[in-house]
Structure 1
C-alpha cells in the first residue's frame, strides 16, 4: 500500500536520513541530494512532496504554496494521477514541477528491476498524457536506491532525486512542530526537502509547511521547483 508505514520508525530516523547519510552520498555521484547553491540568488530551498496527487492534501498544499509564492516539486504516483488528473494539471498550471514516484509505490529493493522500470514508464506516460509535460525526475519509493535504477535514469536523460533534509512527517509520533523545527534546523542553501502529500501525513504536513514557509520568508529564502536535468 502506498501509505504503509515503515516497520521500524524511531526518533533517530530524521537525523540519520538527513545528516548521517551525507558521507555515503559520494557513492551516488549522479543522484541529486542537494542542488548547488548560487551566489547570485537568495538562499534557495527545494521542497518536494511524495505520493500525490490526493483528494484533499494536494489542494491544501497548493493553497499554502500559493499564499507564500513558493514553488515545489511533486513526485507523483501513477495510479493517483489516473484518479486525479485535474489535480495534476492544477499542479503544473501553478508553476510547480512534477516527477515520477512509480505507478503503485513499489520497493526497488524487493521488486524486479524490469517491473520497477515498467512502473516508471507507465507513470511517465500518464503524466505526459494529462499535462503535456515530461517527468525526467524520479524518486524511488522509500528512498531505496539501486545502481540499476540510476543507470536506467541516466539512459533516459533523467535523474534520480533523493534529499538533503528528511523531517519524517510520516513517522509515528511526528508533529507539525517537530517536522518544522527539524527542517529549519538542518536546511541549508540548495537543500532538497522531502515531505508527503497523502492522507496519513496531512494533519502534520500542512501545519509544518506553513511554519517552514513563514520561517523562510522572514529570512529572505527562496522556495523553488527543481529544474529539469541538463541534456547530455
Structure 2
C-alpha cells in the first residue's frame, strides 16, 4: 500500500500554501514536469516526443547530471523548456541539515546558471518531495518558487505496470494539474510507455502542454 497518493489531497495543499501544487487556469492546460535528468538517451527521447506534440514542459535537473551531460542540458534549453533546480546530488531533505541542504541547492543553481551561459532559475522541487519547513522557508526567502505536484505518475515504481502508470495520469489529471514524470533510467520503461499516450489523449481533447513560468 502506497503512503503517497497519486493525486495530492486538498488538505495537503492547504497545509503548505506557500508551495505550488497546481496552476489556477480557466483554459485547458496541463503542466508536465520531469525530474532527475539530464540522462543520456532518455532525456533526448523525451524532448523528441514533446516536440512531436508541440508540448512544453519543465525539467527539474540534478546539478551533478548537468555537469556530466552539458550537451543534453543544452538540448533542453534550446527546445524552449523551463528548468528547475532539483539539488546538486539528489539529497533527501528530511535527512539533511538545513544549511547543508541550502548549500546543495546553491551548487545546483551554479550548474544551472553558468553552464552554457544560461540564466539562473528560481524554480525548485525537493527530491522525494522531502523538505523540512525551515528549508522551505529559507529557499522562499532566497526567491525560489517551491514546486510540488498535483499528480504523480509513479513511473519510477518497479511494482506497477506501464498501464497503471498511464492510468494514474489519465484518471487524475485535470486542467491546471502539475504532473510528475522522471527522465531517469529507473523510470524509463513506464515513462516511455505512458508519455506518448498522455500527450496524444489530452491533445485530442484540446489541451495545451505548457512549461512553468513565474
Query: Same fold judged by TM-score > 0.5?
Result: yes
Among 30, 33, 53, the residue aligned to 1:45: 30
Residue in structure 2 matched with residue 6 of structure 1 by the alignment: none
SS state at 1:18 partner: coil
Q: Is the 8 A contact 1:138 1:161 kept in 2?
A: yes
Q: Is the 8 A contact 1:13 1:168 kept in 2?
A: no
* Unaligned 5+ runs, structure 1: 1-9
Q: Aligned-residue CA RMSD in angstroms?
A: 1.3
Aligned residue runs from structure 1 range 118-197, under 5 A: 118-131=103-116, 132-197=118-183
Give 1:86 deviation, angstroms: 1.1
Give 1:17 deviation, angstroms: 4.6
Q: Deviations over 1:7-44 (max 9, x none)?
A: xxx4x456x2524x32121121110000111x2x4x11
SS state at 1:88 partner: helix
Matched, 1:25 2:13: yes
Among 195, 211, 219, the residue aligned to 2:197: 211
**Normalized against structure 2, the TM-score is what?**
0.95
Q: Is the 8 A contact 1:100 1:138 kept in 2?
A: yes
**Normalized against structure 1, the TM-score is what?**
0.88
The 1:183–1:196 alpha-carbon spacing in structure 2 relative to 1, beyond 3 Å, is same
- Aligned pairs, how many? 213
